[in-house]
Amino acid sequence: MNSLRNLLLDAQQTGLAIGHFNISDLVLLKAVFSAARELNVPVLVGLSEGEREFMGVRESAALVRTLREEFDFPIFLNADHTHSLAKGLEAAKAGYDSIVFDLSALPFEENIRQTKQAVEALKSIHPSMLVEGEIGDIGTGSEIHETSPDLKKGLSTPEEAKQFVDSTGVDILAPAVGNMHGMLRSMVDGETKKHLDIPRIAAIKKAAGVFLTLHGGSGTDDGDFLKAIAAGINIIHINTELRVAWRHGLEEGLAKHPDEVVPYKILPPAVDAVKQVVVSRLRLFNDKRHFAQAT
């Protein structure tokens, strides 16, 4: 089984990106895993602190590890948006493959100081764990928003990216490049799309020289995804799109079986709805022909 680092190197060299999908229950995990196996591409599943609290830190790790071993398949686990070293150490001890140590809400210099400490502490426990840091402001909450925040104020710069990476030793960087967590209602309705600052991504990639993650990918224009991958994005996070599909699928299952009380008879439409989203995103992120067209 290839390591996550090697798979990221392979993706970078071939002009692809690894899809990262958040889970908070078995429906989402089944859907993501089924989609990745159908397309035979590696996949990252992530859990935020809240999602880990709901599913269990070690329980989530055990589920993903079991799928990887039973099916000999490259599915990896990320501790998404971890805001304290204590929570990070908990994930490292549980065997997570990567962690997003996110102190982007702090002043830049304090973010650097604490992230550097976290990199050293986490790798002392789990040497092969990939540590990701975050800079800039992309908002909070993988939810449906009525209005958009002013993202221009929190955009990351190449100079900040280089300083942060050089000072902290992170393996992966998550910059603010026009992306944002969550989706506007107009995006859910298909009326608008997110658009990214592609030249900024390319400049940050050149300056930082590490793997780059795009957080808040839900609702992004497909063409912008392709250009972002060509500019240096290696991991793309999708969460809100899955949550919307999960809810619609659940509502469909309840409507089809109004008197049913057996969960495994109600939930299949939710699995199918989420899987459709994951398949469409993984196809986009892993299509070399799209990469050629984007460049």
282 vs 271: CA distance, rounded Å: 16
278 vs 38: CA distance, rounded Å: 11
Any idea of the CA torsion for 122, 6, 232, 178, to the nearest 10 degrees? -40
Q: What is the DSSP letter of 106?
A: S
> Does the annotation mark 80 as catalytic?
yes
Pull the structure tokens for residue 105.
């809400």
104 vs 114: CA distance, rounded Å: 11
Query: What does 197-210 look like in DSSP terms, one character per residue?
Result: -HHHHHHHHHHH-S
Pull the structure tokens for residue 158.
């190449």
294 vs 201: CA distance, rounded Å: 14
Convert 60-77 to b/e letters by CB count within 10 Å (16 or more is b). Answer: bbebbbebbeeeebbbbb
150 vs 138: CA distance, rounded Å: 9
The amino acid sitting at 125 is I
27 vs 25: CA distance, rounded Å: 6
**Residue owning tokens 């690894």:** 18
Convert 185-215 to b/e letters by CB count within 10 Å (16 or more is b). Answer: eebbeeeeebebbbebbbbbbebbebbbbbb
Catalytic residue among 80, 102, 137, 171: 80
The catalytic site residues sit at 80
